[in-house]
Structure 1
Amino acid sequence: MAWPTHQSEERTWNPRQRQGSRADRTLERIIVSIPPRIGELEYDPTGPLARAHEAAVIAIARLEAGFGEHLAPLADFLLRSESVASSKIEHIDAGWRAFGKAVAGGKASEEAQSQLAAVRALNAMVDAAGSGAIGLDDLLRAHRLLMAVDYYTARDAGQFRDVQNWIGGSDYTPIHAAYVPPPPELVSELIADLLVFVNRDDLPILAQAAIAHAQFESIHPFTDGNGRIGRALISAVLRRRGLTRRMTVPLASVMLADTSRYFMHLNRFREGDADGFVEYLAVGATHASEAAQDSGMALADLPTRWRDIARPRAKSADEALIAALLDTPIFNADTAQQITGTTDPSTYRALGRLTDAGILELLSDNKRNRIWAATDVLAELDTLSAAIGRRTTGHL
């Protein structure tokens, strides 16, 4: 259906200092994009698009109904999977071992800490959405959580940009940029309008989430972190509308599988093709939900597999640890002892046996904070992302 295009305006370029090439230093005028106000617009998909939208809603509902009540650990697993994939789109990839260290509070790389911050931001957005309307404070709080790990980005955390930003092109000016968002003085008004759209209940759910994300990326309200917060907004809309209650649809893995296609659809949205972006997200949601169900079944089978390998004695420390691994796949020695309820020597012997059996891996041998992880659970993060990639690249 028809959707308004972004408009363009010429603005004076007033940099704080002249840097870069001669073209950068002599730039005086730029063209910025002005997204339309969408708060009160109607959107009703029809024909094949409506069917794709319906299929996605059914797939998400099946994921929620099949595992939301019966496999609680899958909720945390999918939340982490979505956050890690969203970070990878921004070229932040620590690997699951480093990420595991960060989760357990160990010494970890900046990239791992950044990925963990993305988990916290997404969790905050989704939790807030489950309690009612998505508000400005929710967006700003999520951004503060995301940016808190870096001293330089933390200075701008939780507040809208007061400078002109751009995507692609030069490091110094918007010259040759792929996209130039609206000027900073329009950001607050555009976000307020977007939140009106986000909190409506008379729109098709997945279409609402897709358009909200594309509009947020077009506004680009922050100096950094726009992609990760914008993708978290998709999950927040699905939670606010009640389509999900516990599960997080791993849509970032769809986007990660072919980022050029993702960015192409965002650009087309700005040209008025909302249908294309809605269909892209709907088809991706179907494949992501189906792959997530496969991961859910794989995770559910793991405790039996672990018991077959380790053959723990009943009521032993080994058995207690195996029973807790889906809920707590990453842990330190203190947590292990809380799980087993036994003495240090008994707990460490059990940890050693499960590590020798290949069920656990020692991620950090720091004497003050040893960290173990259930290898199969963390490896499934990569398996899920790869499975979504295989499903989506041939169909989107």
Structure 2
Amino acid sequence: MRLKPFVPFMLPLKEEIVNQMEFLNELIEANKSMVEYQTMLKNSKLNPQFLLRPVMLKEAVQSTKIEGTHVTLDEVMEADAQTKKANKDIQEALNYYEALMKGMDALKNIPISTRLFKLMHKILLSNDVRGSSRAPGEFRKIQNFLGPEGCTMETATYIPPEPQYVDEYMSNLEKYINDPQDRYNELIRVAIIHAQFETIHPFLDGNGRIGRILIPLYLYNKGVIDYPNFFISDVLERDKHKYYRYLNDTRYKGDWTQWIKFFLECIHIQAKKNIRLIEEVNELYENELARASTIINSSNVLHIVNVMFQRPIFTAKTLSSLTGLPEGTVRRYLNRLEEERMIFSDGKIRSKTYYYYNLLDKLR
């Protein structure tokens, strides 16, 4: 039977739709692990801002993977360091990173809103990537549908609301984001918000990625996290078929409880993974700073190591620019670090690229 365009519930959801007792334990665990993660970040030996860039680039890779893009973290970091030409897949991930950065910056001046969504979407589909001809920065004016590759409207697994209602539903979502009028925990709200955005599917392309960017932006905006660096695309990509099925069950079965339970489990799993990463990176930073200090007899070693943790794939020119040290001095330091096998290079005579694998191995 052919599906009809879906008619979503308006937000806030009626209390009887969501049975909080069904996922109370998951909510407690998710909140507890989030607090633990935030506490660890605050007490980290490494400035939390240092890891923001590599973690965000990893998120860009994972989120675009869900959409079928084939790209590695190394490839994206090489393109970010401008030592590798960006093909369309790499550019998609770089666009995602740029949209995320611009979204965070825009929050200083505007709320999470239609204006913000359109700003990020325009960036996401820029630079001639897949979908760049599908109305970047504008809500859709035609009907769209979702399903397996090659499906038609008749065989679609989900048909979003008719285009003439998109503005109305997005206005309702925007109002809920900024003035929710319910008593739910913020982690429950962000689960509802993400699902509702995907259900409205306001753009012709890029809805999944914008919807996933919305998760850390919302949590950061509401003060749940101190840095906008909490992403769950890694966990969602692992369980993407479950992710899509539970989203669809909120629509055709009205099962919001199972979706929220799953989302909270993803939050908990990701928080625990982040905690392990911070623990490992803290230990690595302390050890590597001590090791580098025995190789380079200069107070400049701190600046060199700090940049390596922000950009584990880099050039001497980049390092010189970010540390303020002369490029010749930087090259001399890098030669010493490479001699001691702390870093590795591609061996090129010109525009040599360096790889700090000890950190890359933990991020991959």
TM-score range, shorter chain: 0.7 to 0.9
Q: 1:350 to 1:223 in 2, by over 3 A?
A: same
What per-residue deviation string (whole Å, max 9, x for no partner) do you get for residues 212-259 of structure 1? Answer: 111111111111111100111111221122101214223111111111
Structure 2 residue corresponding to 1:291, chosen from 252, 255, 273: 273
Aligned length: 354
Q: Is the 8 A contact 2:343 2:356 kept in 1?
A: yes
Unmatched segments (≥5 aa) in structure 1: 1-9, 11-28, 383-396
For 2:59 and 2:324, the matched residues in 1 are separated by: 33
What per-residue deviation string (whole Å, max 9, x for no partner) do you get for residues 254-311 of structure 1? Answer: 1111111111111111121111111111111111101101101111122333346553
The yes-or-no answer on 1:255 pairing with 2:236 is: yes
Structure 2 residue aligned with 1:81: 58
Q: TM-score, normalised by structure 2?
A: 0.87
In the TM superposition, what is the alpha-carbon distance from 1:30 to its structure 2 partner?
A: 6.2
Q: TM-score, normalised by structure 1?
A: 0.80
In the TM superposition, what is the alpha-carbon distance from 1:39 to its structure 2 partner?
A: 4.4
For 2:19 and 2:345, the matched residues in 1 are separated by: 50
Q: Is the 8 A contact 1:143 1:157 kept in 2?
A: yes
Greater shift after overlay, 114-123 or 136-145? Answer: 114-123
Structure 2 residue aligned with 1:301: 283
Q: 1:115 to 1:287 in 2, by over 3 A?
A: same
Greater shift after overlay, 125-134 or 240-249? Answer: 125-134
The yes-or-no answer on 1:142 pairing with 2:120 is: yes
For 2:143 and 2:97, the matched residues in 1 are separated by: 28
For 2:319 and 2:93, the matched residues in 1 are separated by: 24
Q: Which secondary structure does the structure 2 equivalent of 1:31 belong to?
A: coil
> Superposition pairs for residues 26-41 of structure 1, below 5 Å?
31-39=4-12, 41=14
> Superposition pairs for residues 13-28 of structure 1, below 5 Å?
none
Q: Which secondary structure does the structure 1 equivalent of 2:155 belong to?
A: coil
In the TM superposition, what is the alpha-carbon distance from 1:119 to its structure 2 partner?
A: 1.4
Aligned CA-pair RMSD? 2.7
Structure 1 residue aligned with 2:21: 47
In the TM superposition, what is the alpha-carbon distance from 1:90 to its structure 2 partner?
A: 0.9
> Superposition pairs for residues 90-101 of structure 1, below 5 Å?
90-101=67-78
The yes-or-no answer on 1:115 pairing with 2:93 is: yes
Structure 2 residue aligned with 1:166: 145
Between the aligned residues of both structures, percent identity stands at 25
Q: 1:212 to 1:366 in 2, by over 3 A?
A: farther
| Paired residue type of 2:61 | V
Structure 1 residue aligned with 2:156: 177
Runs of 4+ in 1 over 6 A off after TM superposition: none
Q: Is the 8 A contact 1:313 1:319 kept in 2?
A: no
Q: Is the 8 A contact 1:166 1:179 kept in 2?
A: yes
The yes-or-no answer on 1:362 pairing with 2:345 is: yes
Structure 2 residue aligned with 1:389: none
For 1:173 and 1:339, the matched residues in 2 are separated by: 50
Unmatched segments (≥5 aa) in structure 2: none
Structure 2 residue aligned with 1:327: 310
For 1:130 and 1:290, the matched residues in 2 are separated by: 29
The yes-or-no answer on 1:56 pairing with 2:9 is: no
Structure 2 residue corresponding to 1:231, chosen from 209, 212, 218: 212
In the TM superposition, what is the alpha-carbon distance from 1:46 to its structure 2 partner?
A: 2.8
